[in-house]
Amino acid sequence: MGKSARADNARLAALRAEQARQERRSKLLIAGGAVGVIVVIIVALVIAAMQGAGKDADGKTGTPLDQATFSKLTTVPAGTFDKVGVGTASNLPKTIDAPAISKDGKPRVVYVGAEYCPFCADQRWPVVVALSRFGTWNNLNATYSAPAPETNPDTPTVSFHGATFTSQYLTFTGYETATNKKSNGQFTKLDTIEGDDLTLFQTYNNKPYVTSPGAIPWLNFGGTSLVAGASFANEAIAGKTHAEIAAGLADPNTPTSKAIVGSANVFTAQICKLTDQKPAEVCTSAGVTAAAAALK
């Protein structure tokens, strides 16, 4: 082989080697780029998850109300009711010009709220106490209002979702329209208001019957009176557990009793108007009589 041929072969070999190096370099760049894309995706997912965790943080999970707390909540001594009277109750029910509502021949009490709502958390306490004077509760669950940054976060309360109330004097329907847990930035739906109850809520949770249309909690007594919003200030139960709140009810001198039992006396007086003042031992008691005098 001549020198010229050998030189050509050498140049060809060098060219092929350079081409191989270029191909290896390209493959490495492609692989590195793919890894980079994957890393970016992972970082983005982590950031999104962290943001979502803060946005969709769950409220505390509810549990069945323990028997001791349930008993104290539903058997407040008659003497305590009488000594408290109206107590520190505020935002009292008002009479409205509307048709009466009933079920199975008995007047109805209708509540609309949501588990995340701190003012609903307050209001359920006196609702349970008041109605306990007319009948029996079952399946009350202990739960909490929504966590921070909501107002009055983690307020201890009960839920009417799944609860039942039986009475010879009246009927009760409680709607919890949402949980205390979020999904995609919204509290998840729970009970659905339909039919006549939806019409009732939309009509009488509006002006001129309420100041803030659509606000909850909303409590309707027999169709002819209602209260929108809580009936006492949250300070009366702030920082307390379910057991501590229930334990404080029997003593008429505690802020908890003055707030919850006082509101319960007011609700009782309103209900007694619907039941023809029955049961008499409840409706003619000193505490209920005092509350009835405060109603408009």
pLDDT digits (tens, 9 = 90+) for 122-134: 999 999 999 999 9
Residue 45 has pLDDT above 50, yes or no: no
For the segment 61-67, the average pLDDT, to the nearest whole number, is 90
| Residue 57 pLDDT | 58
| Residue 42 pLDDT | 42
Q: Per this entry, what is the length of the chain? A: 296
Write the pLDDT tens digit of every residue in 244-290.
999 999 999 999 999 999 999 999 999 999 999 999 999 999 999 99
Residue 39 has pLDDT above 50, yes or no: no
Of 4-18, 66-80, 132-146, 204-218, the least confident: 4-18
Residue 194 has pLDDT above 60, yes or no: yes
pLDDT cut 70: percent of the chain above it: 81
Rounded to the nearest 5°, which phi and psi values hold at 284?
-100, 10
Residue 83 has pLDDT above 60, yes or no: yes
| Residue 155 pLDDT | 98
Report the C-alpha gap between 219 and 192 in whole angstroms.
16
Is this model's pTM higher than 0.85 or not? no
C-alpha closest to that of 249 among 171, 133, 140: 133
Q: What is the largest CA-CA distance in the chain?
A: 129
Residue 10 has pLDDT above 80, yes or no: no
Query: What's the mean per-residue pLDDT of the chain?
Result: 87
Report the C-alpha gap between 7 and 2 in whole angstroms.
9
For the segment 92-104, the average pLDDT, to the nearest whole number, is 97
Q: Would you list the DSSP string of the chain?
A: --HHHHHHHHHHHHHHHHHHHHHHHHHHHHHHHHHHHHHHHHHHHHHHHHHHHHHTPPPPPPEEPPHHHHHHHH---HHHHHHHTTTT--S--EE-S----EETTEEEEEEEE-TT-HHHHHHHHHHHHHHTTTEEEE-PEEEE---TTSSSTT-EEEE-TT-EEEESS-EEEEEE-EEEEEETTEEEE-----HHHHHHHHHHSSTTT-SSTT-S-EEEETTTEEEES-SS-GGGTTT--HHHHHHTSS-TTSHHHHHHHHHHHHHHHHHHHHTTS-SHHHHTSHHHHHHHHH--
Report the C-alpha gap between 264 and 153 in whole angstroms.
23
Distance linking the first and last C-alpha atoms of the chain: 121
Of 25-34, 110-119, 177-186, the least confident: 25-34
| Residue 61 pLDDT | 84
| 82 CB neighbour count, 10 Å cutoff | 17
